[in-house]
Amino acid sequence: MVIETKMVFAQYLKLMFLLSYRKPMVIYITIIGTLLLIGSLLYAVGFKIYESPPYFQFIFGLFTVVVIPFSIYRNAKNTFASHGRLHENITYEFTDNLIKITGESFTVEESWEKTYRILELNSWMLIYQNKHVANVIPKEAFGDQLTMFRKLVKGKPFIKQKLRN
């Protein structure tokens, strides 16, 4: 099975936000920060829900609502710009024994045994080489071969996998 793809920055940015906001701690901190920001803004317009001016609450809330998303955006932009392989045309060839990845400037062949994990998200298929590095394939690139890819992966019980049915 052969899949061809090319990542654009908008796709990469969406993926980085998705992966960041999937973490329970980031979700929890964002909810708490948003509530603190709302409370401090209510204090500013006259609802005295705090005994003293909520400076800390305002700063923490502003940090979670503005600084964290801006940081994710900036990191994604810098990473995408500095890693040329992210925006190359990439061809993935999946066989029973190998994953062959061919870009404009590289070729990699890996056995399935070297694959750490495969994670399927709503719009993405992530093939992890280790705990932190993944090959990212938009699911739309699979077309009608997505079911065949899932069967191929499910036939590899030694790979950690989280696939949809």
Q: 33-49 in b/e burial notation, b at 16+ Cβ within 10 A?
A: beebbebbeebeeeeee
Distance CA(93)–CA(100), nearest Å, equals 5
Which pair of tokens denotes residue 61?
């809330």
> pTM of the entire structure?
0.81
Residue 67's pLDDT is: 92
> Could you tell me the CA-to-CA distances from 10 to 17, 19, 118 in Å, in that order?
11, 14, 23
The string of pLDDT tens digits covering residues 33-83 is: 999 999 898 988 888 777 778 888 899 999 999 999 999 999 999 999 998
The string of pLDDT tens digits covering residues 93-133 is: 999 989 999 998 899 999 999 899 999 998 999 999 988 88
Q: Are 96 and 104 in contact (CB under 8 A)?
A: no
